[in-house]
Each structure stands twice: as C-alpha cells, then as structure tokens.
Structure 1
Amino acid sequence: MLSNIALYGAIETGLIYGLVAFGIYISFRVLDFPDLTVDGSFPLGAAVAAVLILGGWNPWLATGMAIVAGMAAGAVTALLNVKLGILNLLASILTMIALYSVNLRIMGSPNLALLGEETVLTPWYELGLAFHQVPVALFILVTFIALVLLWRFMKSEVGLSMRATGANARMARAQGIATGAMIVLGVALSNGLVGLAGALFAQSQGAADVTMGVGVIVIGLASLIGGEAVITPSTVLRALIACVVGAIVYRLAIAFALNADILGLKAQDLNLITAILVTLAIVLPGFRNTVRARLTRKKA
C-alpha cells in the first residue's frame, strides 16, 4: 500500500502531466500533428519560470511567461512545417534538439534550485493544509480551469475550424479555413500547456533541470491513451477528462509498481513500466471490443 505522501505525490504529478496530456491531445488527436517538441518545451517552461522567479518576478507572472515561451517553441515547429514544408515529425525533432541548447542558455547551467524562493505554492501553505496536500489542491484548481477554458475554446468558431483542419485539411481549405494558421495556433497552444506544466513541475519539485523533459512525450501519450481506454472520448469534454484521469491513473500505477515489494521493481525500471503500461493501454480497448463482439454474436 502507498503512504499518504506517496499517494498525494502521485496525484500531484498526475495533475501536472494531465496538462501535458491536454497539449498532446490538441496536437495528436485534434490536429493529427505528431509533435515531439514537448520534450523540449517542458524544460523550457521550467527554465523560464525558474530564471524569472530567481530574478525577483512574481511567480504567477513567471509562470505566464513560461506559457508564452512554450507557445513560441510550438509556433516554430508549426512554421517549419507550414512555411518551409518540413515533415511535421522532423520539424518537431529539430525544434526539440534546438531547445536543449536554448534551455542551457536561459538557465546558464544544467539546473537551477528554487528552494527557499517564493513560488505559486507559497501562499497556499498558509491555508492550514498538510504540506503534501497543498500542491494537489492548487493543481486541481489549475487543471480544472485549463480544462474548462480548453473545452470552451474547442466549441468556439476558431476551435471548430481547428478540429476541421485536423479532420480533413483539404475540405477545411475549401470552406475558407486558413489551415496553416490553425496548425500554427494549435501547436503553439499545445506547447503552451506543456510549458505551463513544466513551470508548475519545477516549482513543486524545487528545481529546474535541462534533462527533465526526457520522456515527457511518452508519459503524455501514456496518459492520453490510458485515459481513452478508461473513458470513451465520444465528446471533447470526455476526451479532456480522460486526459486527466489517464495521467493520474498512470502515476498511481507507477507508484504502486515501484512500492510493491513483491514485484521487486526499482526506480531504474520506470521506462520499462511505462512501456508496459502504454502497450496495455493500446491493446486493451481492441481486446475489449473483440470480447464484446463475441458476446453479442453468442446472444444473437
């Protein structure tokens, strides 16, 4: 069994990766744009927030600038694809590689410590909650606001245009939609959410590190696919809720696996556990549909 601290820690991290899953949902599901930029925009958000907080900025303003930085990174990837005709996957890889050097430039070192600095969490510690409950309370609020805003956006005219672009770009252009602009906006929005997640992660962990984005795309995909296996994404709202649920379930599964003595797993097995969970999340829905089809035939 998990201790309270481990349980709240898994939920806290799951909520942060829920924001990453939102971003991946926009790029992969809405726009059908495979985007690996997130492995660079996640530490970019952390780096920008950390440097500005250490420079005396208000933590919320620093977090806002992290969102802007993430959006700029996403826009670069989209422009490489739309304006220069570079394959979307390759464009995102190029941006991701470049961001490693950019992040080092921003921080001036491989990592920065935020211990003792005022962060977005600081005022919440005065509410009387237990130390490990504070990040969960704040991140639930942030994730809920992001979910509602994203849901409303997807129902707007621009959001519908973006969804049309991802569904059938040729038909969307025939209807007068500027598909290139929709791709740039969508990928920028996606990485802005990832930049927000990176900024919050750095502040909750007390440090920003240039390598903290390694594997974020896999975690985000695991959250997205796992959530869709739990909650059928028949509507945009259900799809967004599935992102959060999937991220939390993923982190809880990781925590249980690492804390279960009978399995004998250690921290270095994290990537193995992630690969297994993603495989199960991909295979189980098809297996479930097969079982349902067989049961239906038997009843008939």
Structure 2
Amino acid sequence: MLGLEGLFRLILGVFEEGFIYAVMALGVYITYKILDFPDLSVDGTFPLGGAVAAILIVAGVNPLVTLFLAFLAGAFVGMLTGIIHVKFKVRDLLSGIIIMTALYSINLRIAGKSNVAIFSKESIFENSFLDKVVPEPVKFLVPIIILLLIIIIMKLLLDFYLKTKSGYLLRAVGDNEVLVTSLAKDKGAVKIIGLAIANGFAALAGCIYTQKHGFFEISIGTGAIVIGLASVIIGTSLFKKRGKVKATTAVIAGSVLYKACVSIAISFGMAASDLKLITSVLFLAILIISYERKRRVKTNA
C-alpha cells in the first residue's frame, strides 16, 4: 500500500508525464481530429525534439532556446511530410511512415549515438536561476509548475491560431476540401501548414521529455502516436457532450487520464516492461468503447 507521501508523488508524476505528452497530443489533435490525417511521423518527430535538446544542451545552449529550436525542427519535418503527400501524391499514411523511418537514422546522426545523458547539464527544470529563487522545501514542485505553464501557453496559442483565418481554413480542409477550393485557397498548402504545426508540437514535447528525464534515448518515440491518439480519443469522448469544455482542454485532460490509467496498472503489480502492452490494451479498449458509442447514437437516430 502507498502511504500519503507515496500517493502524492504518484499523482504528481501522473500530472508531470500527462502534461508532457499533452503537448504532443495537441499536435495529434490537429492531424487526427481536424485534418483527418493519420500522421505516423510523430513517432520520429518526438525523439527528434529530444535529440535536438540533448545535443544543444551538451554544447552549452540555453535550455529555453532549445524549446524553440526543437519546435522549428519538428515543424520543418512536418512540412516535409505534407510536401510528400501533397506535391508527390503519396498517400497520407505512407508519407508519415516514410518520414518516421528516415528520422530514426537522422535522429541518430543528430545525437551522435543512441543515448545521450544530460543529467549534469542545466535544463528548464534545474538551473542556477531556479536554485537561487526557489526555496529548497518546495523545489520538488518546480517541474509541475513549469510544465503547467508550458501546457497553458501552448494551449492558448493553439486556441488563438484556430480562431485566425488560417485556422478556420485548417478546419475547413478537414471537413470539406471542396469548400476550401471554391474559396480559391490552396488546400494542399493548408495541409502542409497543419502538419508543420502538429509535428512542431510533437518535437517540443520530445524536447521537454528529454530535459525532464535527463537523457535522450533513440527509442523514446516508439508508440508516441498511440499515446497521442489515446489522449485525444479519451479527452474528446469524455467531454464531447460538455459544450463549455474546449477540445484542446479535453485533449490535455485525456493525456493526464491516460497516464493515470497506466500508473494505476503498474501500481497494481504490472512490470514497467509491460508498458507497451498496457498502452495497446488501453488503446484497444478506448477504440471499442468509442465505436460502440457511435453505433448506439446511429441506432437511436
């Protein structure tokens, strides 16, 4: 049995991991819910952000700067996915697979090796500035506060973008491509922009993950798309009928709930090595429940 302190640490850990993956899930929301684009390149752009963070921090670059550079790297890769699909007429699923496969080697090239430790380096969570301004008794709260600030900023930026002309066009492409064409707008260019933003979010999440855990490992992106999709489906399914809850907020809540389910499963005795199995079972259960709900709605209608 977990004591009060152990339970508190567990809850804190759930929120920390949930917020990190929520950044990526916001990107997956763009591709899955808005564009209806099965973008598997996320499995490559998540570790890309981690590789960029690790190599730059080792080189002495300010950890805050790595957040912006990781986002730009992910956005560039997302743009390439869009170009392959739009300009070369490669199917959406295959475009993501091509980029994801290529990124495995590219990430190794960037990092120089499959594992890069940055424990001894400054990060956005541990640095000399925080050591001076944060009292020792509350230092354990620093990561959750920083992550909360990041997720709020990214959510507000995405909400703001979706209300712009470009954001409305992005929504329109997912709902009705013919409408976008009739407005004399290039639907292909809109898709490329959407994929760039989505993969920028994924790479940013990878950058944050690497700084939080103190290392980059080439396999950190394995199954990232599944986690992102699970977060989106859980969040949007649970809060679908609550009109006052924005989709972006629902996605963040879905990410935290997903991580809570995984933590509960592990606390009940499942080994950490079973994480992928837990992820697969949870995702399958979510899909089945989601499908059943849709079927019942259609039947009742």
Question: What's the TM-score, normalizing by structure 1?
Answer: 0.91
Pairing partner for 1:127 from 131, 134, 137: 134
For structure 1, which segment, 59-68 or 273-282, has the greater mean C-alpha deviation from structure 2 after superposition? Answer: 273-282
- Does the Cα contact within 8 Å between 2:34 and 2:171 map onto a contact in 1? yes
User: Deviation of residue 237 (structure 1)?
Assistant: 6.1
Unaligned runs of 5+ in 1: none
Residue aligned with 2:216, SS: strand
Pairing partner for 1:22 from 26, 29, 32: 26
Q: Aligned pairs, how many?
A: 293
Rounded Cα–Cα distance in structure 2 between residues aligned with 1:78 and 1:291:
36
Pairing partner for 1:270 from 270, 275, 297: 275
Q: Does 1:34 align with 2:38?
A: yes
Superposition pairs of residues 243-282 of structure 1, within 5 angstroms: 243-260=251-268, 264-282=269-287
Rounded Cα–Cα distance in structure 1 between residues aligned with 2:255 and 2:84:
30
Residue aligned with 1:134, SS: helix
Rounded Cα–Cα distance in structure 2 between residues aligned with 1:30 and 1:291:
24
Pairing partner for 2:95 from 84, 88, 91: 91
Pairing partner for 2:190 from 163, 182, 185: 182
Residue aligned with 1:211, SS: helix
Structure 1 residues 249-279: Cα deviation after superposition (integer angstroms, max 9, x where no partner): 011111111002xxx4211221222122222
User: Deviation of residue 174 (structure 1)?
Assistant: 1.1
User: Deviation of residue 4 (structure 1)?
Assistant: 2.2
Aligned match of 1:240: 248
Rounded Cα–Cα distance in structure 2 between residues aligned with 1:124 and 1:230:
37
Structure 1 residues 118-152: Cα deviation after superposition (integer angstroms, max 9, x where no partner): 11112445423634422111111100011011001
User: Deviation of residue 9 (structure 1)?
Assistant: 1.3
Q: Name the aligned partner's letter for residue 195 of structure 1.
A: A
Identify if the C-alpha distance between structure 1 residues 273 and 107 changes in structure 2 by more than 3 Å, giving closer, same or farther: same
Structure 1 residues 81-134: Cα deviation after superposition (integer angstroms, max 9, x where no partner): 011111111011000000011001001111111112111112445423634422
Identity of aligned residues (%): 35
For structure 1, which segment, 32-41 or 282-291, has the greater mean C-alpha deviation from structure 2 after superposition? Answer: 282-291
| Aligned-residue RMSD, C-alpha | 2.2
- Does the Cα contact within 8 Å between 2:47 and 2:107 map onto a contact in 1? yes
Rounded Cα–Cα distance in structure 2 between residues aligned with 1:211 and 1:246:
23
For structure 1, which segment, 226-235 or 142-151, has the greater mean C-alpha deviation from structure 2 after superposition? Answer: 226-235
Superposition pairs of residues 179-218 of structure 1, within 5 angstroms: 179-218=187-226
Rounded Cα–Cα distance in structure 1 between residues aligned with 2:216 and 2:278:
25
Rounded Cα–Cα distance in structure 1 between residues aligned with 2:141 and 2:241:
30
Question: What's the TM-score, normalizing by structure 2?
Answer: 0.91
Aligned match of 1:231: 239
Identify if the C-alpha distance between structure 1 residues 290 and 29 changes in structure 2 by more than 3 Å, giving closer, same or farther: closer
User: Deviation of residue 280 (structure 1)?
Assistant: 2.6
- Does the Cα contact within 8 Å between 1:227 and 1:246 map onto a contact in 2? yes
Residue aligned with 1:36, SS: coil
User: Deviation of residue 73 (structure 1)?
Assistant: 0.9
Pairing partner for 2:165 from 157, 165, 177: 157
Q: Name the aligned partner's letter for residue 18 of structure 1.
A: A
Q: Name the aligned partner's letter for residue 255 of structure 2.
A: A
